[in-house]
Amino acid sequence: MAKKVNSLKYEFIKGLWVENPVLISLLGLCPTLAVTVSAVNGLAMGLATTFVLTSSSIIISLIRKFIPHQVRIASYIVIIATFVTVADRFLAAWFPPISKELGPYIPLIVVNCLILGRQEAFSSKNNSGRAILDALGMGSGFILVLVALGGVREILGSGAFFGFTILGDWFNPWMVMILPPGAFLTLGFFVAGVNWLNERRAAQ
């Protein structure tokens, strides 16, 4: 095979920026937009997704040689759905307020195209070591974006960060930022910012 083999370190860090799942590939937008009302919600969603992504990557990379090619997508989905059920029950048992706030968006991790996309593009072709690194990298990239997005929306929308008020009484909260339009607008500016940074880097 003439395919270039990336270093192990690269498998991890590529998810943070170069192939960031949200900002570059625009995968997993539904949870990204829906739950980032506050930084805490973003963090919880990111961690849950990373857990599901990593666990299913391990299982799928281990059994990749036994899954018949024709039914691979269905098998991936069943494995992912199993881990989503685990994550959902875990959150409901240990963190009821967060589980209540995220509501149906936790079960919707099943149809997060980011997870299925990584299984199809990576775990089904690589050994588990690489698959774990890839999943952790992609997961960290996802968490990073979710927390940043949630942070910006929380600061502008309610003058707080992780629940602590940081902007004083003089600040008039921008209600729109914690309503649905704010999610689209913030992500739009994030993507434009990334385009700008990447171009500046390429020009140097």
Partner 1 sequence: MKLILLFISAAIVNNFVLSYFLGICPFVGVSKKVSSAVSMGMAVTFVMVIAAAVTWLIYHLILVPFGVEILEYVSFILVIASLVQLVEMFIRKVSKPLYDTLGIFLPLITTNCAIMGLALFSVLREYNFIESIFFGIGAGAGFTLALVLMAGIREELELADVPKHFQGAAITMIVAGSLALAFMGFAGLISI
Residues of this chain that bind partner 1 (CB under 8 A): 26-27, 29-31, 33-34, 73-74, 77-78, 81-82, 84-85, 88-89, 103-104, 107-108, 110-113, 116, 176, 179-185, 187-189, 191-193, 195-196, 199
Closest CB to partner 1 among 13 and 194? 194
Q: What is the number of other CB atoms lying within 10 angstroms of the CB of residue 195?
A: 12
Q: Tell me the closest approach of the beta carbon of residue 9 to partner 1, in angstroms.
A: 28
Q: Tell me the closest approach of the beta carbon of residue 199 to partner 1, in angstroms.
A: 7
Closest CB to partner 1 among 133 and 183? 183
Q: Tell me the closest approach of the beta carbon of residue 93 to partner 1, in angstroms.
A: 13
Q: Is residue 154 within 8 Å of residue 136, measured between CB atoms?
A: no
Which one, of 139, 132, 112, lies nearest residue 15 by Cα?
139
Q: Tell me the closest approach of the beta carbon of residue 197 to partner 1, in angstroms.
A: 9
Which one, of 24, 1, 29, lies nearest residue 184 by Cα?
29
CA dihedral 21, 117, 125, 5 (to 10 degrees): -20
Which one, of 159, 165, 135, 123, lies nearest residue 47 by Cα?
135
| Residue 165: strand pairing partners | 160
Is the Cα torsion angle 93, 98, 99, 100 positive or negative in sign? positive
Closest CB to partner 1 among 8 and 176? 176
Determine the Cα–Cα distance for residues 18 and 148; give it in Å rounded to an integer: 17
Closest CB to partner 1 among 16 and 111? 111
Closest CB to partner 1 among 129 and 180? 180
Q: Tell me the closest approach of the beta carbon of residue 103 to partner 1, in angstroms.
A: 7
Closest CB to partner 1 among 132 and 157? 157
Q: Tell me the closest approach of the beta carbon of residue 6 to partner 1, in angstroms.
A: 26
